[in-house]
Amino acid sequence: MNKHNRAHLSAWVAVAIFLCLCTGLWAKEEFQARLFPDLAQGSQKATKLIISIDSYTNSEEVLQLIQTFNNRGYEQFRATLHAMNKGTLRPTGGRGVQIILHAAQSTPTDKGRNIILVAESQSWSLDSRLRYDGRFPLMVIELSLNEKGKGKGNIYLSADIKLTGQGTIEMTGYSSPQRQLFGVAVMK
């Protein structure tokens, strides 16, 4: 094998290794969870949710959002964020309601990983209206999973986020009480 062929082979092997290591960034994942009932709304049973993540938000996308905000303003930042489609949140039996996830980030922990998901603040119940608070325009879902893909989480219907210079997404605050998720698990 000549040097030219070896260089090509080495390049292809490097690409193959890179793709194998990065499949978590592109792989579709689905989770199921149960949302504790909202007793204030008169609900008596838990709502089953299906969370589908088509792709994760990488640090370069976060840095682009920061740059968009700094150079073009808040409205263009919101438009850019809303153009990102990272997956969906679907309550089963929710009359066809499907919430678009605009950002999704997974962070490894000592015993598993944490996932933060960001969507537009909205209610998925057609029977009730969410009181809009302009200070907290987003919905944030936090999942905490162990190494087996099982865990718990919270949904914040009216929240705000911060994008860091390290390319991460963090929740900074919320105005509505958190709703607890239990039985969170990766669907196989």
Helix axes 59-72, 74-83, angle to 10 degrees: 150
User: Averaged over 68-85, what is the pLDDT?
Assistant: 93
Per-residue tokens: 62: 């976060």
Residue 6 clears pLDDT 70, i.e. is over it: no
| Residue in the block written with tokens 């325009």 | 137
> CB neighbours (10 Å) of residue 77?
18
pLDDT bin (cut points 50, 70, 90) of residue 130 is: low
Quote the pTM value. Answer: 0.79
Q: Is residue 12 pLDDT above 60, yes or no?
A: no
Taking 90 as the threshold, does the pLDDT of residue 153 lie above it? yes
pLDDT of residue 93: 72
Half-sphere exposure of 166 (CA within 13 A, CB side): 5
What type of residue is 183?
G
Phi, psi of 89 (to 5 degrees): -120, 125
pLDDT of residue 135: 73
Per-residue confidence (pLDDT) for residue 18, from 0 to 100: 42
CA distance 141 to 122: 13
What is the per-residue pLDDT across 89-111, written as a single tens digit (0 to 9) for each?
998 875 668 899 999 999 999 99
> At residue 17, does pLDDT exceed 50?
no
Mean pLDDT for 113-141 is 78
